[in-house]
Amino acid sequence: MAIQLSRHILGQSKMSRLFITLWVSSTIVDGQSPTQGDILDSPSPPTTSPVKDIVDTSPPTNSPTVTPSLSPSSPPSLTPTLSQAPSREPTDRPSSSATPSQNPSNVPSMSPTLSFTPSAAPIQYSRPTRVDIRYIPWNELDPENQKIAMNLDYTNTTWNEYGANPIEESSWEDLTTEQTGNASLLGYDMKSWDCWINHYE
């Protein structure tokens, strides 16, 4: 048995002989004699060479795979994606941007916009000259002008109270030929009558 054990030991490397010697010594100390089967079944010493990393040997291809990847590509696309629907719901508050948008909205606002400046150029208007005789009290009119005023249905009361005579509610075009004749004698024409007597009513 010692001869067989020696042959077996000679066939091992230095590391193996040292490991078996230590194992045999520990077995003898425990009161048991190792057998040839025990030596052959003994665990082999650990290897000292490192395990090589697994390397993917497949080269990369220039064509994409058939199925898309789970993660998106890093570079963005060159053309944007057009969408007919808005990206988000409209808000009740204006945007925080300090400058207004360049394009007007297609939908009118619910409330009008107040402005202290006119929206269009003012219409050129020249007021006709006032006929001063109408503002002279009745008792200061000469009898001729009082007669002309009476032909226009004026009295002492209606002459001194502006707007009391119903004829003042008529425009120049609504007056009869006789009435426009008497008004002309007092110094009125179409523009001055409609402005100072009828007040464009």
The separation between CA 147 and the C-alpha centre of its own chain, rounded to angstroms, equals 74
Average pLDDT per consecutive 10 residues, the chain (201 residues; last block may be shorter): 50 54 53 52 55 61 69 69 70 66 70 69 79 95 96 96 94 96 96 92 65
In degrees and rounded to multiples of 5, residue 158 shows phi and psi of -70, -25
The predicted pLDDT at position 175 comes to 96
Q: Which two tokens stand for residue 176?
A: 């009869």
**pLDDT score of 139:** 96
What is the rounded CA–CA span in Å between residue 115 and residue 76?
Answer: 46
The SS3 call for residue 194 is: helix
Model pLDDT, residue 53: 56
So what's the pLDDT on residue 200? 80
> What does the alpha-carbon distance between residue 194 and residue 200 come to, in Å, rounded to a whole number?
5
The residue type of 103 is N
Contacts of 1 (CB under 8 A, 6+ apart): 35, 36
pLDDT tens per residue across span 167-179: 999 999 999 999 9
Three-class DSSP category at 85: coil
Task: Note the pLDDT tens digit of each residue in 11-23.
Answer: 544 555 555 555 5
Please return the burial class of 149, using the count of CB atoms within 10 Å of its CB with bins 0-12, 13-18 and 19+: buried
The pLDDT value recorded for residue 3 is 47
The pLDDT assigned to 183 comes to: 97
Tell me how far apart the alpha carbons of residues 120 and 139 are, in angstroms, rounded to a whole number: 48
In the chain, where do the E strands start and end?
none
pLDDT of residue 150: 97
Predicted local distance difference test score (pLDDT) of residue 2: 46
Q: Rounded to an integer, what distance in angstroms lies between the CA atom of residue 175 and that of residue 171?
A: 7
CB 141 within 8 A of CB 171: no
